[in-house]
Structure 1
Amino acid sequence: MLTTDYAPGMPNWLDLGIPGAEIDDAVAFYRAIFGWTYRSAGPEAGGYGFFQLGDRTVGAIGPLTEEGATPSWTVYFHTADAEATARAVEAAGGAVRMAPGDVFTAGRLAAFTDPTGADFGVWQPRENPGLQAVTEPDTLCWTELYTTDAAAAKEFYRTVFSWIYRDMQMGDGMVYGVVSSSGGSAEDLSQGGIMQLQQEHLDAGAVSEWHPYFGVTDCDATYEMATKLGARVQIPPMDVPGVGRLAAVQDPWGAPFALIKGDPTMK
């Protein structure tokens, strides 16, 4: 499971890119469904700020800055050396969208695209180690990559982060690759999954994307609130044996995310 005892390759940051003029509305949306508050990172941060649950940071939000970018959540993975990771990304066939750079004295950030087209980033901590709460209700508890080429994606992330995979057979011959970090001290280091997009989704124009999962105490109630406030349905609430009850939506600006009342960690 996710933990704030971050090891290399584990998710340690998460932010939402949104048109700058829509940030206040997006803050209000996520406050209504998760109870998050907002704290600005300061006038020098260009509109970037933090989602907080109580006094703990659980994510961030900022204006889109890349030409052609659309609203989305970006998952960042821990690295001890952002420059080394950037070199590994390029060597493995990925692309550097944003070269490693300092974020004041908080740490170093870089953004990449994997060979299948999915965007992600890395965070090299300095003063800011990363998210202050995960695997709790209304916080990040899982990450999932839907990809146009699962085999290529697995090999890429194995090369870059030394991830370990455990394949699980699902219905209709689908295979779900459970991702685990190769470092850290926790006994269970599973942190996410990789799933091949099915042909009907590819035919409909689906692209490779990382999706965050947020733990909730009531999947149906949170889903109903989100859709009432303008979220678009991707997967209505459903039970997954041995996992829990989950749903997936796009927020009113088009950024996808999922909800899960997990079993047993999200009782």
Structure 2
Amino acid sequence: MNRIVHFEIHAGDPERAVKFYQDAFGWEIEEWRPPGVELRDEDRYWMLTTGPETEPGINGGLMLRRGPAPAEGQPVNAYVCTIGVDDLDQSLDAVLNAGGSIALPRMAVPGVGWLAYCRDTEGNTFGVIQPDENTQ
């Protein structure tokens, strides 16, 4: 069984969103910089610590939104959750076989693993990640 291991908040103004989550919930937020990798402004990423490791819950990330913001008045707008898997390619095949689709194909997250974004049969977006510390 594969568990949700991470969530992401997509923001039009990431620095404004960082301040919001720090002020509203007291989250610890640090900009993530992979060693030896120069990031473009649009690739900047912030790690969100939502509480101590001794309590239930998960931590997440915050990044620049890669498309249009959800429409005003839309009934549900949510964070993107990411599911940890042992084999990304096998999991992507399972998503397709179950009627889902690939929203963004396999990509490397340096020092973290291989990530893809998918959509379920209801149009909800979620991430799938295969950990691999050697990813470049």
TM range (shorter): 0.7 to 0.9
Counterpart in the other structure of 2:60: 192
Pick one of 178, 183, 187 that aligns with 2:47: 178
**Structure with more strand by fraction:** 1
| Seq. identity, % | 27
Q: Which amino acid aligns with 1:262?
A: P
Alignment of 1:192-211 (within 5 A): 192-198=60-66, 201-202=67-68, 206-207=69-70, 209-211=78-80
Q: Give yes or no for contact 1:179–1:190 (8 Å, CA) kept in 2.
A: no
Counterpart in the other structure of 1:162: 26
Alignment of 1:19-98 (within 5 A): none
Instruction: Using the TM superposition, give the Cα deviation of residue 171 of structure 1 relative to its aligned residue in structure 2, in angstroms.
Output: 3.2
Out of 236-245 and 168-177, give the one that drifted further: 168-177
Deviation by residue 1:125-176 (Cα, 9 ceiling, x = unmatched) = xxxxxxxxxxxxx001111111222122211211121011111356322310
User: Structure with the greater relative contact order (CA < 8 A, sep ≥ 6): 1 or 2?
Assistant: 2
Pick one of 117, 121, 127 that aligns with 1:258: 127
Instruction: Using the TM superposition, give the Cα deviation of residue 244 of structure 1 relative to its aligned residue in structure 2, in angstroms.
Output: 0.5
Q: Give yes or no for contact 1:143–1:213 (8 Å, CA) kept in 2.
A: yes
Q: How far, CA to CA, are the matches of 1:147 and 1:185 in structure 2? A: 26
Q: How far, CA to CA, are the matches of 1:177 and 1:249 in structure 2? A: 22
Q: Which amino acid aligns with 1:162?
A: G
Structure number with bigger Rg: 1
Q: Give yes or no for contact 1:223–1:237 (8 Å, CA) kept in 2.
A: no
Aligned residues between the structures: 120
TM-score (norm. length: structure 2): 0.76
Distance 1:185 1:214, change over 3 A: closer
Deviation by residue 1:19-55 (Cα, 9 ceiling, x = unmatched) = xxxxxxxxxxxxxxx5xxxxxxxxxxxxxxxxxxxxx
Q: Secondary structure at the match of 1:171?
A: coil
Q: How far, CA to CA, are the matches of 2:114 and 2:16 in structure 1? A: 29
Pick one of 74, 97, 121 that aligns with 1:228: 97
Q: Which runs of 5+ in 1 are unaligned?
A: 1-33, 35-137
Q: How far, CA to CA, are the matches of 2:53 and 2:118 in structure 1? A: 33
Please tell me the root mean square deviation across aligned C-alpha atoms, in Å.
2.3
Q: Which runs of 5+ in 2 are unaligned?
A: 71-76
Distance 1:230 1:171, change over 3 A: farther
